[in-house]
Amino acid sequence: MAVSLFFAVIDFIVKSIYVRLNLVFNNKKSR
């Protein structure tokens, strides 16, 4: 149970970082 929670947290962090990177790249492309 602790392992699944650990992976859920990692997945959430990775997704948040991925979204931030996408926003940065989109801003650079638009400019």
Domain boundaries, the chain: 1-30
| Residue 5, pLDDT score | 96
| pTM for this predicted structure | 0.61
User: Each residue of 1-31: pLDDT tens digit?
Assistant: 799 999 999 999 999 999 999 999 998 888 7
| Residue 19, pLDDT score | 97
H or E segment to which residue 1 belongs: none
Distance (Å, whole) CA 15 – CA 7: 12
